[in-house]
């Protein structure tokens, strides 16, 4: 076992000890974590260790700086990671305070998932800084943008993307780590506040160096990261950086890459944030043709064969695996998703509206699909019809970043043993009946959603059904639990009781 007391002269101990034989500090941290070894002490603000709990290996991050800004950033990472659910983001487990023997100075600790692999800086060093090829660059760029899409969808941005903060896992997938500098988008932009000024030279954009940042700041750092991967040289290297003119002349050191990819990376690294892509979906849409992906565009003013004026028409003509990008407009139709497709809003969610008066807005009739970035308005009640806004009798539908209401039945209905959707980052409100209604052995996951102002109950679950609720606000209160019928009906009963009390007072 290993002692984490920074003043301990001999931190290594045998496994049989509960207290350090040198300094007397406790070795079983927080009553559960056994420190196995030091992973890194070069992080500046923190030291990382490998720990075990119930034979599961994890990472312990220990703050070695008691400056208020350092403590705030450390606590920020501990609070943010549990909100983000993606295989490319380490899962946060919890924060605690540790006091070494004979010390009143607290040591801040944070435990997270251990991501196996090596960071891209170490990866390139082991390859003797040989440039990666274009195919791998495109695959990695897509992976990282998809991770950023989750971060940005939670109104956050990373602000410290660089090779040493990207882990290359043995399965070939990338993970983004070190969320200590993450900032909230809305708070930063609306208040025009400066950030902490913590950044990595060569990777941080001009606005971040001046103390400001926007979501597009991450795109700049991403572009600089791929310059490093494609050239084997740091962006501050004298071979490619001209400090006199503040120019990055990197192309001649890259391998055999297309002019299109080089141009796109330069767009990511544009000096002005407004000249970079507007959001992650724009980047993914740009990358799709180079990755052999199929894309259809839905636009109510479509003028060529690649544009469809209705989403239903696009679904009809799509092949499995197609991405359907929906541009702003009000689409008065009900969608039957009967093949594996991705339907993604190409613009602000509030400007991309699907309304249906004669059917569900969405009926899931396939094994797997994604619906993201849409406003779904169930208007069936207008004609006295009875439909839920989203009806899921089967499949693993991912419903992400949608605003859902219903003036007929429930906002979302999940039913049948084959139904197992994931509903995340959604606002589910003003349902005529329930926000989420689960029956007939249905199951699913509700993650990071806001569910409120539904008439009967926020989540109504019937016998033999199960919903896992993760970091979601139900009537304004954070809920984290696997819910059975008893759990959820309670939410509905509380709502009814409150209504009765209000009526009595009136």
Calculate the average pLDDT of the chain.
Answer: 88
Task: Tell whether 210 and 89 lie within a shared domain.
Answer: no
Task: Tell whether 220 and 359 lie within a shared domain.
Answer: no
pTM over 0.75: no
pLDDT band at 487 (very low <50, low <70, confident <90, very high): very low
Is a pLDDT exceeding 70 seen at residue 200?
yes
Q: What is the pLDDT of residue 295?
A: 87
How far, in Å, CA of 468 to CA of 342, rounded? 24
Q: What is the pLDDT of residue 132?
A: 95
Task: Tell whether 100 and 147 lie within a shared domain.
Answer: no
How far, in Å, CA of 312 to CA of 211, rounded? 46
Q: What is the pLDDT of residue 191?
A: 41
Q: What is the pLDDT of residue 94?
A: 82
pLDDT band at 44 (very low <50, low <70, confident <90, very high): low
Q: Per the domain annotation, does 162 fall within a domain?
A: yes
Question: Domain boundary at 251, 268, 287, which?
Answer: 287
Task: Tell whether 308 and 447 lie within a shared domain.
Answer: yes
CATH number (domain holding residue 141): 1.10.510.10
Q: Per the domain annotation, does 309 fall within a domain?
A: yes
pLDDT tens-digit series, residues 8-21: 999 999 988 999 99
pLDDT tens-digit series, residues 209-248: 888 889 999 999 999 999 999 999 999 999 999 998 889 9
CATH number (domain holding residue 75): 3.30.200.20
92 CA to centre of own chain: 13
CATH number (domain holding residue 394): 2.160.20.10
* Pair 297, 323: CB distance under 8 Å: no
Query: Which residues 6+ apart lie within 8 Å of 264 measured at CB?
Result: 286
Q: Per the domain annotation, does 6 fall within a domain?
A: no
pLDDT tens-digit series, residues 131-160: 999 999 999 999 999 999 988 888 888 889
Q: Which residue has the higher pLDDT, 286 or 412?
A: 412
DSSP code for 115:
P
Q: What is the pLDDT of residue 335?
A: 98
How far, in Å, CA of 439 to CA of 461, rounded? 6
Tell me if residue 367 is catalytic: no
Mean pLDDT of 17-42: 92
Q: What is the pLDDT of residue 489?
A: 45
How far, in Å, CA of 195 to CA of 383, rounded? 52
Q: At what angle do helices 216-231 and 259-268 cross, to 10 degrees?
A: 140
How far, in Å, CA of 56 to CA of 370, rounded? 32
Q: What is the pLDDT of residue 305?
A: 53
Q: What is the pLDDT of residue 23?
A: 96
pLDDT tens-digit series, residues 453-478: 999 999 999 999 999 999 899 998 98
How far, in Å, CA of 240 to CA of 249, rounded? 5
How far, in Å, CA of 265 to CA of 141, rounded? 10
Question: Domain boundary at 79, 113, 147, which?
Answer: 113
Residue 312 domain boundaries: 295-502
Task: Tell whether 475 and 353 lie within a shared domain.
Answer: yes
Lowest mean pLDDT among 143-147, 341-345, 371-375, 378-382: 378-382
pLDDT tens-digit series, residues 94-130: 889 999 998 888 999 999 999 999 999 999 999 999 9
Is a pLDDT exceeding 90 seen at residue 253?
yes
Q: What is the pLDDT of residue 33?
A: 95
Query: Which residues 6+ apart lie within 8 Å of 248 measured at CB?
Result: 224, 227, 235, 240, 241, 242, 269
Q: Per the domain annotation, does 138 fall within a domain?
A: yes
Positive/negative CA dihedral, 109, 114, 116, 117: negative
Say how many domains are in the chain.
3
Mean pLDDT of 72-94: 83
Q: What is the pLDDT of residue 184?
A: 52
Question: Domain boundary at 88, 113, 138, which?
Answer: 113
Q: What is the pLDDT of residue 192?
A: 47
Q: What is the pLDDT of residue 423?
A: 98
Is a pLDDT exceeding 90 seen at residue 289?
no
Among 139, 132, 134, which Cα is nearest to 258's? Answer: 134
Task: Tell whether 281 and 239 lie within a shared domain.
Answer: yes
Is residue 443 helix, strand or coil?
strand
Q: Per the domain annotation, does 403 fall within a domain?
A: yes
pLDDT band at 190 (very low <50, low <70, confident <90, very high): very low
Q: Active site residue: 119, 149, 160, 460, which one?
A: 160
Is a pLDDT exceeding 60 seen at residue 324?
yes
Task: Tell whether 104 and 132 lie within a shared domain.
Answer: no
Q: What is the pLDDT of residue 155?
A: 80
How far, in Å, CA of 222 to CA of 174, rounded? 13
């Amino acid at each position: 076992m290993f002692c984490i007391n920074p003043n301990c002269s001999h931190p290594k101990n045998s496994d049989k000890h509960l207290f350090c034989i040198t300094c007397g500090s406790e070795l079983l941290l927080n009553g559960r974590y056994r420190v196995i070894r030091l992973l890194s002490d070069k992080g500046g603000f923190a030291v990382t260790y490998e720990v075990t709990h119930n034979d599961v290996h994890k990472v312990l991050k220990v703050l070695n700086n008691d400056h208020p800004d350092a403590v705030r950033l450390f606590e920020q990472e501990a609070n943010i990671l549990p909100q983000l659910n993606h295989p490319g983001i380490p899962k946060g487990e919890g924060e605690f305070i540790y006091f070494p023997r004979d010390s009143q100075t607290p040591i801040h600790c944070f435990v997270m998932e251990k991501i196996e692999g090596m960071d891209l800086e170490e990866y390139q060093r082991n390859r003797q800084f040989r440039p990666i090829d274009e195919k791998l660059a495109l695959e990695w760029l897509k992976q990282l943008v998809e991770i950023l899409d989750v971060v940005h969808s939670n109104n956050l941005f990373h602000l410290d993307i660089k090779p040493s903060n990207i882990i290359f896992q043995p399965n070939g997938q990338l993970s983004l780590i070190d969320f200590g500098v993450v900032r909230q988008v809305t708070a930063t932009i609306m208040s025009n506040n400066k950030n902490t000024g913590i950044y990595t030279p060569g990777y941080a954009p001009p606005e971040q160096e001046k103390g400001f940042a926007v979501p597009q700041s991450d795109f700049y750092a991403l572009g600089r990261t791929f310059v490093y991967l494609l050239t084997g040289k740091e962006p501050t290297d004298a071979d490619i950086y001209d400090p006199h003119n503040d120019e990055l002349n990197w192309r001649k050191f890259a391998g055999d890459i297309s002019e299109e990819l080089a141009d796109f990376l330069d767009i990511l690294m544009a000096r002005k944030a407004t000249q970079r892509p507007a959001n992650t979906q724009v980047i993914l849409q740009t990358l799709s043709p180079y990755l052999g992906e199929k894309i259809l565009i839905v636009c109510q003013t479509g003028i060529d064969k690649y544009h469809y004026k209705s989403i239903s028409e696009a679904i009809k003509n799509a092949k499995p695996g197609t991405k359907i990008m929906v541009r702003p407009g009000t689409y008065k139709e009900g969608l039957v998703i009967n093949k594996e497709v991705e339907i993604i809003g190409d613009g602000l969610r509030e400007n991309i509206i699907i309304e249906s008066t004669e059917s569900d807005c969405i009926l899931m009739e396939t094994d797997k699909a994604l619906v993201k970035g849409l406003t779904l308005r169930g208007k069936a009640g207008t004609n006295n019809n009875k439909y839920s806004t989203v009806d899921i009798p089967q499949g693993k539908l991912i419903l992400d970043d949608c605003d859902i209401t219903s003036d007929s039945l429930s906002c979302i209905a999940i039913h049948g043993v084959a139904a197992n959707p994931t509903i995340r980052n959604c606002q589910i409100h003003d349902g005529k009946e329930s926000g989420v209604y689960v029956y007939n052995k249905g199951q699913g996951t509700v993650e990071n959603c806001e569910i409120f102002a539904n008439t009967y109950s926020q989540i109504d679950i019937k016998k033999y059904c199960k919903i896992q609720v993760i970091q979601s606000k139900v009537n304004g209160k954070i809920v984290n639990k696997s819910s059975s019928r008893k759990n959820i009906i309670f939410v509905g009963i509380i709502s009814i009781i409150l209504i009765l009390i209000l009526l009595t007072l009136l």
